[in-house]
């Protein structure tokens, strides 16, 4: 069960957010399983992501405009780590760098915070320049290109594109006209 699926109606927080949906923003975080015991998380702490130590896809990135609204005043420094437990409205999060103890020759570091600002979005979108359009979208664009004009005041004028589905509208002209008059 994900943290936001646990409902505590007494302390429910409501935000109105707009989301951009990407197939992938980053790989799994963390990239390798972490030893949860090294974080020495007190038993009374409820984590926003109880499975933070297991590699998983990111569910949601919260931008800075909401991130600071979600922060609370609680903060706990983790002994022998540079990480900090930070209290939020969604539960406690672990922020900082994970430094694996020098028991092996390999060292692993990982950014644990799952709430982070989005990178510049247009750079992400620039990778995929191929736009797949349906035949209806192609026909609509072709109709627009072939029927666009400007009147004497410089306004654009175009005929409305219609397809065979217009017949399935039924007798909606009168209703639409009445709404127009309101």
**In this predicted model, what pLDDT tens digit does every residue of 75-101 receive, in sequence order?**
998 887 788 999 998 889 988 876 665
Please tell me whether residues 90 and 123 are part of one structural domain: yes
pLDDT at residue 92, rounded to an integer: 92
123 and 36 within one domain: yes
92 in Cβ contact with 86 (< 8 Å): yes
- Structural domain boundaries, residue 59: 1-130
Give the pLDDT score at 2. 47
Question: 25, 117 in Cβ contact below 8 A?
Answer: no
- Which pLDDT does position 98 carry in this prediction? 67
Please check whether residue 163 is in contact with residue 153, taking contact to mean a CB–CB distance below 8 angstroms. Answer: no
Model confidence, pTM: 0.49
142 lies in the same domain as 115: no
Buried b (16+ CB within 10 A) or exposed e, 114-152: bbbeeeeeeeeeeeeeeeeeeeeeeeeeebeeeeeeeee
In the chain, which residues have pLDDT < 70? 1-12, 98-130
Tell whether 95 and 150 lie within a shared domain. Answer: no
* Domain identity same for 57 and 102: yes
Cis peptide before 30, with omega less than 30 degrees from 0? Answer: yes
Number of structural domains found in the chain: 2
pLDDT at position 12 is 63
CB atoms inside a 10 Å sphere around CB 63: 14
Q: What is the pLDDT of residue 160?
A: 80
What whole-number distance in Å separates Cα of residue 116 and Cα of residue 67? 8
In a shared domain, residues 9 and 97: yes
158 and 69: one domain? no
- My answer on whether 44 and 84 are in the same domain is yes
Distance CA 97, CA 147 (A): 58
- Predicted pLDDT at 7: 46
Residue in this structure with the two tokens 């409501």, named with its chain if needed = 14
- The predicted pLDDT at position 102 comes to 53
Domain shared by 140 and 86, yes or no = no
């Amino acid at each position: 069960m994900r943290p936001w699926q646990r409902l505590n109606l007494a302390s429910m927080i409501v935000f109105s957010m707009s989301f951009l949906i990407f197939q992938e923003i980053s790989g799994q975080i963390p990239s390798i399983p972490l030893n949860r015991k090294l974080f020495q998380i007190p038993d009374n702490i409820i984590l926003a992501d109880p499975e933070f130590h297991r590699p998983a896809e990111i569910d949601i990135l919260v931008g800075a405009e909401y991130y600071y609204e979600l922060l609370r005043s609680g903060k706990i420094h983790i002994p022998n780590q540079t990480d900090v437990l930070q209290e939020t409205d969604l539960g406690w999060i672990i922020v900082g760098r994970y430094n694996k103890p020098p028991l092996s020759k390999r060292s692993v570091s990982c950014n644990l915070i799952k709430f982070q600002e989005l990178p510049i979005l247009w750079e992400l979108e620039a990778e995929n320049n191929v736009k797949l359009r349906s035949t209806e979208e192609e026909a609509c664009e072709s109709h627009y290109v072939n029927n666009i004009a400007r009147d004497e005041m410089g306004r654009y004028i175009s005929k409305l594109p219609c397809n065979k589905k217009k017949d399935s509208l039924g007798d909606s002209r009168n209703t639409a006209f009445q709404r127009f008059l309101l």
